[in-house]
Structure 1
């Protein structure tokens, strides 16, 4: 590199290192702020991509600088040390059509049934070729009328590569690594959670997951009010710069009728991932609040209700959920089926015992889920049957009863017991993560609010 400076030129000014570091940090903060805040024409309800922290940016810059220095100092490798180049192949692509078999596809590229047999007799996961679906792609590399390689593209991230070896064909499954990006979204409910979440940029899957996380504390049909709000930090999985699918919700807050619930995702070695309050209590209760997702309550718990069929004062010892015939009914807690059959006015009914204290009853079913019978053990959220109108019922609905120590209780208002909290050995690590995530929720919410106020002042 030519140096154009001369001895006559004035020396360059020297600045203290502390000043240079301060300027660098201020610049990074400004860049972070500008990338985080939404554009002036955005609304307060939206999704933003979270950028790396200043420390992460500085670390990345240092690492890259070191890489460049190492590259400039590295000697040219000897030709003998270079790895052999990957052979260039001419690929022929074939889309799997409806009704296709391997023989059909192989025939279209000039291969025979013998080739199919040799491939399927190969080593590795060749059996995956038995599960081809219309729309998928198969790529063939043929040299001198002989199949040397085959790539079965199962999805954007998965493929099966089969290559000819010295002892036949060998199949190997390849998985492309997805890059997680962390994003933030918030919204205020005016009519429904789904509309507010859609406006905030959340997918239907993430919205359902959000409802599942807080479903033990909030009935999203009965309890939702205008003005309720949510904040979510979640992941998006990207491949080659494009979003492929949703990731996990890392932290979320939901404010319902003035009360705010906060959930933090944390993974332990023995239990896997679950959601906890910032203090380490499980968000999961021993029971779901409702056995049907997003169903309307058609009749409440009332011990002096007039029966709609018998027209007499008869205690209504449960809650009725109106739903279309065939809607899945879920067990609200882990337990054992102690009765599954017809029971007078209840029609087809399932009764589940949950330990020594609790019991739940599900009536008027159209039919039972496969495997549900007396003695069957069920898990919370497992489908046990489907909505119907058997017994004394005016139309399809679920009648749900909740018992504590043999006494019937209102399923909507009964205090539900908590599941197990974070294990003691994981408590300190969890609290550190929880503090960080709660801080991030507050930081990004404040940034969004500041931008909204700035727009109003314009």
Structure 2
């Protein structure tokens, strides 16, 4: 029975083998010569394509095994256990209080003075009392910086956490700062120097439309143009006398403190050519320590008298021996000049003098007479009101003596202005005004050597460069 089963099994294997050979006959035909046994005589090895495929596959498997197996082994390795460290207590030196303290910047609060503010207003705005202000005044002494403050001035406050005053800083003058401290047992006052420098500028302009337009084109601010006009107002009427082609050259400075711009400085030297006439002004410190501006011959450019004592809009009536009076309606001499201006416009004293008359005078209305010397006086009529002055009071040139109005015989607001010599009226527009006295001989020599000669050389050099530039521009335009 067992034998029959074995024979049947062998027969079934043979049948399956024959069936597989028939189904894959094409493979057996191609691979029938492959032999790994020792049957038959071994012939020479010939590398066919199939052998190359098998060899390459084996090499690829070997290479991949070299990379994959080590990486898998590393991934499966458990994380190393960190080594335990023993913690031992060490005795350290105690930190001192000074070492724990770090310097902190003080929080100074800067306050800038606004127009109309007083020092008490500023203190109260910081939550401080008038007693605090009095403490500062007492400790700092009688400094002008606290008694007369101005818009733009700065005060720095240092306040405690409870709002109390710990310190205050303010400019004592342009080059020093006062510091008052109350954060110790005893108040302290110190002074800090500040570096002040002046940076000089030179500007040149030609009038084409207006003085302000020419000044702006030359790089000057409106304030500096006004200073230029103020210098030459005694010789030039900038309302009526300016002509196209007039020119000016100005040397002026700006003030810087601690490297930052502080304010505009002053005109150092200036030249103005008006209708062909040349006027000059040089800044000079006199022996009394006061600064002034002088012409090249050493005479003050501030004349003894203002030619026009009011800012007017137009001349409504000139000096005349006979004119039709606008109120009386008949021919009558007009022995002064009428300057029309809005009511309330300030009227200035034409020169230094003493008030001789202040009151009402028929025809003139509110009237003031100022006696300047033994021979010259000036008179001002039709005022709306007087300034705070009385008879016998001394007035300085330019000080306000009243305000424009139309009191008395007047049809509109204006100033009636008279210039009198030995009580006889002269035409204020044409009368020869007395020249101021020149500097004393010693100061005059110093003025010419230290101021006029070097500044005049600079002005001439600049004028030559300007003319050369004009010639160059003209030549290029011709080309």
Q: Please say whether Structure 1 and Structure 2 have the same fold, judged by a TM-score greater than 0.5.
A: yes
Q: CA deviation at 1:181?
A: 1.1
Q: CA deviation at 1:309?
A: 1.6
- Report the CA distance shift for 1:310/1:321 in structure 2 as closer, same or farther (over 3 A): same
Contact kept in structure 1, 2:252 and 2:265, CA below 8 Å: yes
Alignment of 1:77-156 (within 5 A): 88-94=103-109, 96=111, 102=123, 105=126, 116=132, 120=136, 123-125=139-141, 138-140=156-158, 149-151=167-169
Deviations 1:330-370 (A, max 9, x none): 11111111101111111111111111110110111111111
Q: 1:301 is matched with which residue: 319, 322, 336?
A: 319
Residue of structure 1 in register with 2:413 after alignment: 396
Residue of structure 2 in register with 1:373 after alignment: 390
Match of 2:126, SS state, is helix
Contact kept in structure 2, 1:221 and 1:294, CA below 8 Å: no
Match of 2:327, SS state, is coil
Residue of structure 2 in register with 1:251 after alignment: 269
In the alignment, structure 1 residue 209 sits paired with structure 2 residue 227: yes
- Report the CA distance shift for 1:254/1:104 in structure 2 as closer, same or farther (over 3 A): closer
- Cα RMSD of the aligned pairs, angstroms, is 3.4
User: How does the TM-score come out when normalised to structure 2?
Assistant: 0.68
- Report the CA distance shift for 1:161/1:415 in structure 2 as closer, same or farther (over 3 A): same
Residue of structure 2 in register with 1:412 after alignment: 429
In the alignment, structure 1 residue 353 sits paired with structure 2 residue 368: no
- Report the CA distance shift for 1:359/1:448 in structure 2 as closer, same or farther (over 3 A): same
More displaced stretch, 272-281 vs 383-392: 272-281
Q: 1:435 is matched with which residue: 453, 467, 471?
A: 453
Residue of structure 1 in register with 2:443 after alignment: 426
Alignment of 1:10-89 (within 5 A): 88-89=103-104
- Report the CA distance shift for 1:89/1:406 in structure 2 as closer, same or farther (over 3 A): same
Contact kept in structure 2, 1:337 and 1:377, CA below 8 Å: yes
Q: CA deviation at 1:321?
A: 1.0
Query: Which runs of 5 or more residues in structure 2 are unaligned?
Result: 1-101
- Report the CA distance shift for 1:130/1:374 in structure 2 as closer, same or farther (over 3 A): closer
More displaced stretch, 301-310 vs 136-145: 136-145
Contact kept in structure 2, 1:300 and 1:320, CA below 8 Å: yes
Query: Which runs of 5 or more residues in structure 1 are unaligned?
Result: 1-86, 108-112
Residue of structure 2 in register with 1:47 after alignment: none
In the alignment, structure 1 residue 290 sits paired with structure 2 residue 308: yes
- Ranked by relative contact order (alpha carbons within 8 Å, sequence separation 6 or more), the top structure is 1
Q: How many residues align?
A: 366
Contact kept in structure 2, 1:263 and 1:283, CA below 8 Å: yes
In the alignment, structure 1 residue 385 sits paired with structure 2 residue 406: no
Q: CA deviation at 1:323?
A: 1.1
Match of 2:320, SS state, is coil
Residue of structure 1 in register with 2:194 after alignment: 176
Contact kept in structure 2, 1:236 and 1:246, CA below 8 Å: yes
| Structure index of larger Rg | 2
Residue of structure 2 in register with 1:276 after alignment: 294
